[in-house]
Each structure stands twice: as structure tokens, then as C-alpha cells.
Structure 1
Amino acid sequence: MPVRRAIAVFGVVVTLLAGCRAAENERRPEPVRPRWEMAVLPVPPGSPGRLILRDVTACAGRWYAIGAVGAPDGGTRPAAWRSADGRDWTPLSLRPISYYGERAVLYAVGCHEGRIAVIGARAGGAHGNPRVRTWRQDADGGLTEVPAEFELYGGPEAVSASRIAGGAAGWLIAGARTGGAAVWRSPDATGFELVDGAAGLASDVRLTTLAVDAAAVPGGWLVGGGGRPAGQTDRDPFVWSSGDGRAWTRLALPATSADEIVQRLLRVGDVIYAVGVRGSGFQAWVFEPRAGSAGQWRAAGGFGTTGAGAVAGAEAVAGDGGAVLAMTVAADGHRLWRSAAGGSSWLPVALPTDVSAGGDSSAAVTMWDGRMVVTLDDGVAARVWFAPLGPV
């Protein structure tokens, strides 16, 4: 090849590579880098072991983290912590009343009027299915396991008891049975009633449903999830509303031909955010009330990629003022995202340490009063980190 031609071809290649890098840089904005500090999380009294973290929330000016202590032989015992500043944490007293309660891993926490309620589970029995238990918070701050018959959450029709929310109407757990989306309701978290087969919520001949998260709103509840229409391979995103947790109205969110599901709900003032998966990425939907009308849901911004070879999902959402945070898990691990534009655009937020997907890993985030707290568990060690929200 003549020298001049070789130089020209090389120049074209360099130009193309530069263009690809520029396009990649446009697709991958520089992440927000908070000033993270690691918190002090003591091992609760009892047998030694590694800390396991599964969820975190802010509740009436206090922070709560939940999980378990894992023994070297694979055994677990439930654990929960409370903090006034996100820096120093104190273990809560736990009062299990059953065999599986003594071994539960606490994985979902909700808040209402300054008290929390928690869901935990431990696999067991002949088929190794999760044995779900709930916990209520007592006046002394400790958690007491709530008595429950096995088939309230388990049995041959069990699928999942995913998330718990508290509100003016009491407490609500979102999940599913073999008959589709289901909820459990309670006025005070001291005992739950299963609402199964409810018209509009459960599966029917036209739609197979699944509920994943719940949120309290003025006048009742919202439940988020998805449904697969008959004859369709992909799911569509849905939100259900109810005043009492018994009668439900189904609402289809803006959908595409991709597989879509709502996995987390968040209320910030009058605005409701739904975050989940849309095809090969993550998606936010937003409901904003409008003067003179009931308002409507709209598809806001998409962000991130799910990748291949891993189960992807939105693990947690949190909001404070005009900011919204979302923790996701995908093939490239657990990631934190921030939106300051009503869910329309999202920026990556650098976590204090990388946590890969899969195994026994998990991550969660909450936010209150201009400060965010994250829990990161890579399956070997678990840590709590905190940082001021800061500007974007």
C-alpha cells in the first residue's frame, strides 16, 4: 500500500475511533461523586458471624438497617440497627417466637408514624421454600415477631411477599400467590390478613399479574408490578389503587413492545414515582396531579443497561425534596442513580465500593434531610455508608 494511502486510511480509523469514544462518553456521563463515610455497625449481642444487610429506611428522623448475622456454618439470626445520624448505629432487641423467626433474614422494612414493621424469611421445610415472618416495633424500639399460621404467607399457593409499606390506613404487604398479585393488610402490624383473588388485582383470563411494591397515598394504597396479557410473551407495567386494601382498580402505565415491570414505588409530596425495568434498561414512570384533573402517568426517563446473564431490577428508591435516588442491579453489578429533573434524566452516582451482582449480594439506599445512606453487601462483608446529598 502506498505511504500516502496508508496514512489516509490510518487517519480515517483514528477519526472513527475518536467518534466512537465521543459517542460512548455521551452515553456514559461522569458520575456524581459524594463524600462517602463508612459508618460503625456493631455485631448484635449473641453468636458471632458476618453481618448481612438487606434494606434501609429513614423513619421519623432516625435511620434503620435490617438483615441478619450469618454464622460460619451457614446459619443465620435476624438483626436490625437504629441510628440518629447515619454514623453510629445501635442494634435493636429482637424477640422471635418461632423456629424460623429465630433464623430469619430480615429483608424489607416500612415506616409509619415513627415506627417500623419488617418482613423476614428463612428457607426450610421439605421443599426449602421461604418461611416468611413479619415483625412489629414495640414501644422500647425492639422488634417482636408477629404470630402467623404457615399458609398465611406459605403453603402450595405461595409465591412471594415482597415489600411492606405503612400509611394512614395501616400496613400493606405487596406480593403474589399462584393466582396472581396479592396483598396482606393490617391496621397495626400485629396481624395480617391475606387479600387473595381480588378482582382487578389478581390474574384473570386476560392478564397474569404480579405485585412487587406498595406505597401509601392519601386515601389508601398503591401497588406496583406487572402483568402478562394472554398470548403475549412480554410483561406490561401496572399500578393498582385501593382505598381499603380489599377492592382494587388496575391502571396500565405507558408501555412499549419490550418487557416492562414496575419494581419500586415512591411518593414525594404529590408526585408518585415508579421505577423498574423496560427491555434492556431501567425506566421511570411519573404521576403528577394537575389542576382541574386527576392527573396521569407518563413514561419519564430511561437509564442504565441491564446486560446479559443476570437478573436485573430496581432494588430501592428514595426521595428528598426535588431529588430521587434509585439503586439497581444488573450484569455489571449494583449501581446508584440520581435524578433532579422529575425522573426525566438520570446521572450515575459513584458508590464507595463496587459490589458485583449475583451470589448473596444486595444494596439499598434511603434519603432524608439532605443526607443519603446506603447499605452494600457483597456476600462476604456488609457495610453502611453515608454522605450529604450535595449538588448534581
Structure 2
Amino acid sequence: MTRVSVRRWIAVFGVVVALLAGCRSARDEGPPEPVRPQWQAVDLPAPPGAPGRLMVRDAAACAGRWYVVGAVGGPDGATRPAAWRSVDGLGWVPLPLHPISYYGERAILYAVGCHEGRIAVIGARAGGAHGNPRVRTWRQDADGGLTEVRAEFELYGGPDAVSVSRIAGGGDGWLIAGARTGGASVWNSPDAADFQLVDKAPALASEPDLTTLATDALAASDGWLVGGAGRPAGRADRDPFVWFSEDALVWTRVALPATDQDEIVQRLLRVGSVVYALGVRGSAFQAWALETRAGSASTATAGGWRAVGGFGATGTGAVAGVEAVAGAGGDLLAMTVGARDHQLWQSVDGGGSWASVALPVDTPAGGDTSATIAVLDARMVVAVDGGAAAALWSAPLPTTR
């Protein structure tokens, strides 16, 4: 073998070895290990009344208090509303509930908003000739209990009903985000006792070339933000939007950075001066971010939104989404549901990258399941309902930096 041939053989051999080492390294690396918090099981006491399985649907934390809402389900399929409160995330007590209607007595509480230590809640129970959700709202009394708010049936229901999604509290009162047949809609109230429907509002509602849907609401220092999506005429995919209003009556629509994939904003969250929108982009979950001026939501109308990071996988054959979001300091947490299961994610860099956080139990998706999270003072509470039983866990916020 000539000297040139030897050199060529050595070079080729080196390339092959490098390629094999790279393949082996990629195989050995695998997905990163999930963050594993020090979960502590928390007792959720049964409310007074007939025994049944506990159901949890949403959680919130503010002003030094934690809240969880849901229902108690009987063996015959009957339900009654339930809510709990805690001062430390570990010891919980049921809240007194005061329903005033047939469906209020049977409601499953599924969304809770909190402002200055007071909560307001949305609940519903399917019924009537067509089995549609009969939506009711609840306000908190001075003694901490919840009283159902009297409302006409067509305020949330009727032939134009589509969805009543989330509730938020702020300096100007309370806002509910949802949709009617005319598109994205909101309900506003100064005190959570008298909600008024804002339907077919220009820029918020659907237009001939755009069908809109609202999914979440967020209070800001100068008004309200609503998140959701719009489907342009002639297209199957949706584009992500937020809307801004100073008074919940006049709205400005803002398009978020979009692709040719199906995209929707499902949850809104403000951490410090940054507003985050989280939802779905194609087959993964997505975060968008906006740097505001002193928490001013009107900043959104000037643009500046960035698509900061995608994470996870939605899977196929199921409706996927971001179920809950929470933030503390520079950390973001998102609870998601995909075709396979419910999962928890954490970002420590403003939504740019996300790490999987191991839940205390595996919770398959589908059926009557749910999972949610709330964070307060560097402690998180996770409520998981596997469809047969619900439970709470608490843990210090994991440090992944």
C-alpha cells in the first residue's frame, strides 16, 4: 500500500468512527430527564352533605390564599358544586356554598378568578331538552362562602350560546371570556354580581372574512386583554389573536406572530412586566410574549409580540390544549393535555425553552379528567382528577437554573 493510500484509508476510517460515535451518542442521549419536585400529598376534605367522589377543575392563588373549585359526584351521576380554601397550600377547608337555582345546586365549578383576595367562579351542568351546559356564576361573600348569582337563561345560554370559558378580576371589576354564534364575546361586571353581555362588538366579534373565538381574560393596569383565535374565510387553520380594551366595550384586535399551522391562544398570564400567551401551534404547544410598560395592556396594540418557544407534543385524535398557567419570579409553569396524558412544564427563561416536570401521578387524557396548577410564594399546588378520583399535591417550586 502506498503512502497516499495509507493516508486516505486513515482519513476514511476516522470519518466512519466519528459518525458511529455521533450515532451512539444520539441514541444514548435520549430525552432529558424530567424535573422531579418533592411532591407532598395534601388532604382535600369532603364538603358537608352526601358522600361522593371529589372532582377538581381549577385552582387559583392570590393575596395569600389558595382556592380549588370543582364538585362532588354521586354514584348515580348527580353532582353538586364544591370549593375549598387554604392559607398555606397544605391544609384545606371547604367553602360554604349557597346555590339559588336548580342547575346551581347541580353545577360543576370549572373556572375561578381571583382579585385582591376575593374570588368569582363559573360553573355549569348540562340539562334541558338539548343537554346544553346551563352556566351559572358565583361571587364570594364577606364570610368567604360563595353565592350563586341570579341571571336570565339567555345571558349565557339560549340559541346563540357557544362557550363561557374563563373569568378574571381586576381594578375595573370582572371579565368573562367566551363566544357566541356571532364570535368572540365577553361579559363584564363591576362586582361579579351583575354581568352584562358584550356581544357582536366590532373587532372582537366575527366578521365576514374572519370567525373569532375568545378563550381567556387578563386584567391589566389600564384595561383588559382577551386571548383566542380567528379562522380566516376559506381556511381550515386558525390564527392566534389577543384583544385589548380599556372599558370592556370597545376592542382592538392584535394579530400574534403566526404560521401556516393551526394556532390558538388558550391562556394568558402576566409575570412582572411581561404578558405571556400560551396555546397550541400545529402539533405542539406554543408561548408568545410581550414586554409591557408597567403592566399596561395597551402596549399590545403597538405590536411587539414574539413567538418565544414551542414545547411538547399534542398527539393526534384528541383536542389538545393548555389547561392552566402560573408564574412566580422568572418561572413559568404550564399544564397541558394532549392525546396521551396531562403534563406539566416549566420555563426559567421567559418561555424560550421548557422542561418536563414529573407529576405525582400519571394522568391519562380523555373522559372526565383534568389537571390544574396554582403558584404562590415559590410553592405550587397541583390538582389532578383522573376521572375516578381527585387529589391534591404541593411542592416547592423546582429550581432548574
Would the TM-score normalized by the shorter structure come out above 0.5?
yes
1:1-16 → structure 2 map (5 Å cutoff)? none
Q: Deviations over 1:15-34 (max 9, x none)?
A: 797365246x2xx3221110
Structure 2, unaligned runs of 5 or more: 1-16
Aligned residues: 378
In structure 2, what is the Cα distance between the partners aligned to 1:169 and 1:160? 23
**Secondary structure of 2:215 counterpart:** strand
- State the identity as a percent: 70
Q: Cα–Cα, structure 1 residues 20 and 89, in superposed 2: closer, same or farther, change >3 Å?
A: same
Query: Please, which of 73, 77, 81 is the counterpart of residue 80 of structure 2?
Result: 77
Counterpart pick for 1:313 among 321, 330, 350: 321
Q: Is the 8 A contact 1:53 1:68 kept in 2?
A: yes
Q: Which amino acid is 1:99 matched to?
A: Y
1:57 equivalent to 2:70? Answer no
Code of the aligned partner of 1:79: A
Structure 2 vs 1, CA of residues 125 and 12 (structure 1 numbering), >3 Å: closer, same or farther?
A: farther
User: Hey, what does 2:391 align to over in structure 1?
Assistant: 383
The amino acid that maps onto 2:376 is W
Aligned partner of 1:277 in structure 2 is 280
Return the letter of the residue paired with 2:363: V
**Structure 1 unaligned blocks of 5 or more:** 1-10
Using the TM superposition, give the Cα deviation of residue 303 of structure 1 relative to its aligned residue in structure 2, in angstroms.
0.1
Write the distance in 2 (CA, Å) between the matches of 1:325 and 1:71.
Answer: 33
Q: How far is the alpha carbon of 1:390 from its aligned partner?
A: 2.9
1:356 is aligned, of 361, 364, 368, to: 364
Tell me what 2:24 maps to.
Answer: 18
**Distance (Å, rounded) in 2 between the aligned partners of 1:263 and 1:78:** 25
Q: Could you tell me which of 340, 344, 350 is aligned with 1:336?
A: 344
Q: Distance in 1 between matches of 2:42 and 2:325?
A: 21
Write the letter of the residue equivalent to 2:313. Answer: T
CA offsets per residue over residues 208-254 of structure 1, 9 Å max, x none? 00000000011110000000011111000000000010000000000
Cα distance in 1 for partners of 2:385, 2:89 equals 17
Partner secondary structure for residue 338 of structure 1: strand
Corresponding residue to 2:49 among 40, 46, 55: 46
Residue 7 (structure 2) aligns with: none
**Distance in structure 1 (CA, Å) of the matches to 2:272 and 2:22:** 47
Residue 137 of structure 2 aligns with an amino acid whose one-letter code is T
Root-mean-square deviation over aligned CA pairs: 1.7
8 Å CA contact retained: 1:182, 1:201: yes
Cα deviation digits, residues 167-224 of structure 1 (max 9, x gap): 0010000000001000000000011000000000000012100000000011110000
In structure 1, how many angstroms separate the alpha carbons of the residues matched to 2:32 and 2:176? 37
Deviations 1:248-294 (A, max 9, x none): 00000000000000000001121100000000000000001379x85
- 1:212 maps to 215
Q: What's 1:144 paired with?
A: 147
The amino acid of 2:331's aligned partner reads A
Give the CA deviation at 1:311: 1.1
**Counterpart-to-counterpart distance in 2, 1:357 and 1:246:** 37
3-state SS of paired residue (2:155): helix
Matched residue type, 1:380: A
Letter in 2 for 1:84: V
What CA distance in whole angstroms lies between the structure 1 residues aligned with 2:183 and 2:366?
26
Match for residue 185 of structure 2 among 182, 186, 208: 182
Pair 1:89 & 2:88 matched: no
What SS does the corresponding residue of 1:357 show, helix, strand or coil? coil
Query: How far apart, CA to CA, are the structure 1 residues paired with 2:155 and 2:171?
Result: 23
Q: Is the contact made by 1:59 and 1:116 (CA closer than 8 Å) also made in structure 2? A: no
Alignment of 1:28-39 (within 5 A): 28-39=31-42
SS of the residue corresponding to residue 152 of structure 1 reads helix
Matched, 1:198 2:201: yes
Q: In structure 2, what is the equivalent of residue 301 of structure 1?
A: 309
Structure 1 residue identity aligned to 2:139? R
State how far apart, in whole Å, the 1-side matches of 2:293 and 2:146 are: 41
The secondary structure found in structure 2 opposite 1:221 is: strand
Q: Distance in 2 between matches of 1:31 and 1:148?
A: 46
Aligned equivalent of 1:170:
173
User: For 1:151, what is the secondary structure of its paired residue?
Assistant: helix
2: CA distance, partners of 1:374 / 1:206: 41
Structure 1 runs of 4+ aligned residues shifted over 3 Å read 11-20
CA contact (8 A) 2:273 2:293 kept: no
Q: For residue 126 of structure 1, what is the aligned residue in structure 2?
A: 129
Residues 324, 334 of structure 2: 8 Å contact kept: yes
Q: CA deviation at 1:332?
A: 2.1
User: Structure 2 length normalisation: TM-score?
Assistant: 0.92
Name the SS of the counterpart of 1:79 in structure 2.
strand
Q: Is the contact between residue 179 and residue 197 of structure 1 (CA under 8 Å) also seen in structure 2?
A: yes
Letter of the 2:65 partner, please give it: R
Structure 2 residue aligned with 1:116: 119
Distance 2:63 2:303 in 1: 29
User: When the two structures are superposed, what TM-score results if normalisation uses the length of structure 1?
Assistant: 0.94
Q: Deviation string for 1:69-98 (max 9, x for gaps)?
A: 000000000000001111110000000000
Whether 2:208 is the aligned partner of 1:237: answer no
Q: Which residue type is aligned with residue 375 of structure 1?
A: A
Radius of gyration: which is bigger?
A: 2
> Partners in 2 of 1:319 and 1:204 — Cα distance?
35
Contact 2:184 2:213 in 1 (8 A): yes
- Do 1:76 and 1:105's aligned partners in 2 also have CA atoms closer than 8 Å? yes
